[in-house]
Amino acid sequence: MKKMTKFALTGLAAGVALAAMTTTAQAQERWTMTTTWTDDIALIEIDRHWVDLVNRLAGDELEIEFRSGGTLMPPTEVFDATETGSIEASGDWPGYWAGRDSAFSPLATTTSLFNGVDYLNWIQQWGGWDIYQEIYGDYNMVYLPYGITNNESGFMGRTPIESLADLEGKRIRLAGRDQGRVLEELGGSQVTLAGGELYQAIERGVVDAGEFATPGVDYQLGFAEVVEYWATPGWHQSASVFGVMINKDAWDALTEETQEKLKIAADATMAWSLAWSERGSTEGTEQFLEAGVEIHQFSEEDLERIQEMTNEVILRGACENPMHAKVYHSMVSYLEHYATWRDISVPFNMSRTMDNLPSLEELEACL
């Protein structure tokens, strides 16, 4: 009788344990996430780094299945898919959505304004994070910025570009609405191409020059095989931000503790991405030089002229869209405030020393 009782109790305990395990498995959230980046574009490593951290930090509460860009849907469709909840999350570069709202453009990159540290400062301490939530929130999404790269490579091609005068009549592949407007003011024309199409476009002369991202990314895409000249710096994208779009309903289904773990993973990935990118840019530059690519740098006078045009373009765009104005007003306010410390810490400051910024008063008039 005692043996029977002991057996029954043991069986009951096993059943309770099995039920608990089953309940835990059912309670665990499982997400599908994709990205705008295909496997041949190194920027996908930023997405993978965040997913890996989340799965390690919150694996008991949330498991993310990550799929490379293009394997679930065309990269251009990930915004709609995340907004509607067809997938729970997707990695992106905000500038791809500027056609929906021009305010997405400065959330992704700036022309001759922020560098990578500026984005980090602004997002973390000067109100940038809240602005991302406001703009993506209009599309039923939460946004976690988790990647920063410093300035883009610059213009690479088979024709030398040694000064702004050489941009006259040139067809150049670059991304971003404001970037295209500044290029047009300089006499060039913007060509929009996916990164995977740029190699052949340069090889066949469809474009005179272009770039996709940083030197490390561009070298991996094979550009050293088809370009002879490289014009730096990449003023048109002085830094870039990447992150994850999360469907609001999926986010709200998580506990506050799990949400916090996703934010912690995003902060950690952001710091990692900047160092990872700069290491890659250094090695990519070495590889372009070894391949015989000739580098030309724009003069200080040219860069000052670009800044003047950039300021004009920013103010023009601001008065076309109050939210666009709000983003830039916040950014310029940060630069002016940070200058109090930044400019007296030269040469050890972590940002550009600038004395020519878009007018805060004119930006306020557009709000």
| H helix intervals, the chain | 2-27, 44-57, 78-84, 104-108, 116-125, 128-137, 177-185, 195-203, 215-220, 248-252, 256-290, 300-318, 322-342, 360-366
What residues contact residue 98 under an 8 Å CB cut-off, 6+ apart? 104, 105, 108, 176, 177
pLDDT at position 16: 39
pLDDT at position 188: 92
Tokens found for residue 51: 């997913």
CA-to-CA distance for 227 and 291, rounded, in angstroms? 10
CA nearest neighbour of 123 among 255, 273, 254, 236: 273
Distances (CA, A) of 242 to 46, 91, 108, 149, 151: 8, 7, 7, 8, 13
Which residue type sits at 98?
A
Tokens found for residue 171: 């067809």
The tens-digit pLDDT sequence of the chain (367 residues) is 444 444 444 444 444 344 444 334 443 899 999 999 999 999 999 999 999 999 999 989 999 999 999 999 999 999 999 999 999 999 999 999 999 999 999 999 999 999 999 999 999 999 999 999 999 999 999 999 999 999 999 999 999 999 999 999 999 998 888 899 999 999 998 998 777 788 888 888 889 898 889 999 999 889 999 999 999 999 999 999 999 999 999 999 999 999 999 999 999 999 999 999 999 999 999 999 999 999 999 999 999 999 999 999 999 999 999 999 999 999 999 999 999 999 999 999 999 898 899 999 999 999 9
CA-to-CA distance for 256 and 248, rounded, in angstroms? 14
Distances (CA, A) of 217 to 34, 45, 333: 20, 11, 32
CB atoms within 10 A of CB 322: 12
Phi, psi for 34 (deg, rounded to 5): -130, -165
What 3-state DSSP class applies to 330?
Answer: helix
Q: Residue 147 gets which letter from DSSP? A: E
Phi, psi for 204 (deg, rounded to 5): -95, 0
Phi, psi for 159 (deg, rounded to 5): -120, 130
Q: Is residue 75 reached through a cis peptide bond, with omega within 30 degrees of 0 on the bond before it? A: no
CB atoms within 10 A of CB 300: 8
Tokens found for residue 293: 């690519």
CA nearest neighbour of 124 among 266, 262, 7: 266
Q: Is residue 322 reached through a cis peptide bond, with omega within 30 degrees of 0 on the bond before it? A: no
pLDDT at position 176: 82
Residue 249 and residue 145 in contact, taking contact as beta carbons nearer than 8 Å: no
pLDDT at position 261: 98
What DSSP string runs through 261-280?
HHHHHHHHHHHHHHHHHHHH
Q: In what order do the strands lie in the sheet with 89-92?
A: 62-66, 29-35, 89-92, 234-247, 141-152
CB atoms within 10 A of CB 350: 14
